[in-house]
Amino acid sequence: MELLRPSSADEATAALGNGSVALAGGTELVPLLRDGLVTADKLVHIGAAVPRGIDGTTIGAGTTLAELEADPQIPQALREACSLAASPQLRSMGTVGGNLLQATRCWYWRLGFDCWLHGGERCLAKAGAHREHAIFGNELCASAHPSDVGAALLALGASVRTTQRELPVGDLYRLPTADDRSTTTLAPDELILELDVPVPEASTYLKAMDRRKWAFPIVGVAAVRGNGGIRIALAGVAPIPWTLDGTAALDDATPLPGTAYKVEIARALVRRAVEGIADAAR
Ligand SMILES: Cc1cc2nc3c(=O)[nH]c(=O)nc-3n(C[C@H](O)[C@H](O)[C@H](O)COP(=O)(O)OP(=O)(O)OC[C@H]3O[C@@H](n4cnc5c(N)ncnc54)[C@H](O)[C@@H]3O)c2cc1C
Ligand code: SF4
């Protein structure tokens, strides 16, 4: 396998596609390569091709979660989402761009079973073990998106600048369909360059985990106050980061037998998060 180190986004883009894959911190990609879930002839290290750092409301895609959680310019929901993600070692390597593009943690998928998302006939989790799985958007694939950061950015109304376009962060994602089973809308040769994160009046991120630290979200709730309203987004509840149109929308959840408990956790966390930002600033 060849490792390329392009010095600009244009060079990196030209090198991507056709069996080449972008490598940032490698905390997600390297295990996927090791386990044969991603194959690549060339790795394109984007450290020098993608901006890194924070400038007002602009965040370079190469900024690490550790840098985000420590910066007072960053809205509280995003800082909290970063600080509750993974471990300190992973946060010091893992970038925000890579976090948004992480694959599902569904064990059927990670262990290479021939499930629907891998191109098979059916979702094995629905009939099997699915305690960590989805309560929304789970008709074809019941995986739960693991990105705390994605939910925080969604609630904050962040937008993304790529090498091809500008789009709301929610438009980076799509529910997989029978004719296209991918969960993102990014082209193979498209790079996330920067994020723009508007400053809210107040925001918070709460997370239920199996352990108190260093675990993926069972349910993550981001709540943001601004522009006369409150926006809520959830992690760990659907194959993609999920916008919740108010607490009542939890009544429309479609849990599996083993995920019904997540609806109640989400209800409690949403209530707590909304109460928490009622008077708080940022
Ligand atoms: C044990 C463990 C626990 C974790 N726990 C949590 C958790 O609780 N919550 C949470 O939110 N996350 C968690 N994570 C995920 C972690 O935050 C991500 O692995 C990390 O942020 C990925 O960033 P990276 O730079 O290492 O990405 P890489 O591994 O380098 O890349 C990941 C993917 O993104 C693509 N990519 C990276 N950057 C770009 C870009 N700028 N443009 C286009 N494509 C790009 C790569 O091609 C690859 O497909 C955990 C990870 C591990 C391994
Ligand atoms: S939840 Fe998705 S990834 Fe997991 S077994 Fe079902 S189809 Fe596969």
Query: Does ligand 1 come within 6 angstroms of the Cβ of 216?
Result: yes
Q: Show the tokens assigned to 111.
A: 């262990």
User: What does residue 162 show for φ and ψ, rounded to 5 degrees?
Assistant: -110, 180
Query: Does ligand 1 come within 6 angstroms of the Cβ of 82?
Result: no
Q: Show the tokens assigned to 59.
A: 């965040």
Model's pTM, two decimal places? 0.97
The strand pairing partners of 177, in sequence order, are: 180
Q: Give yes or no for a contact between 62 and 24, defined as CB atoms under 8 angstroms apart.
A: yes
Q: Show the tokens assigned to 96.
A: 């925000």
Q: Is 19 helix (H, G, I), strand (E, B) or coil?
A: coil
**Calpha distance 207→222 (Å, rounded):** 9
Q: Give yes or no for a contact between 132 and 236, defined as CB atoms under 8 angstroms apart.
A: yes
Per-residue pLDDT for the chain (282 aa), expressed as one digit of tens each? Answer: 999 999 999 999 999 988 999 999 999 999 999 999 999 999 999 999 999 999 999 999 999 999 999 999 999 999 999 999 999 999 999 999 999 999 999 999 999 999 999 999 999 999 999 999 999 999 999 999 999 999 999 999 999 999 999 999 999 999 999 999 999 999 999 999 999 999 999 999 999 999 988 899 999 999 999 988 999 999 999 999 999 999 999 999 999 999 999 999 999 999 999 999 997 766
Give the distance from CA 56 to its chain's centroid: 22
Distance, CA 43 to ligand 2 centroid (Å)?
27
**Calpha distance 263→186 (Å, rounded):** 30
Nearest CA, atom 2, ligand 2:
141
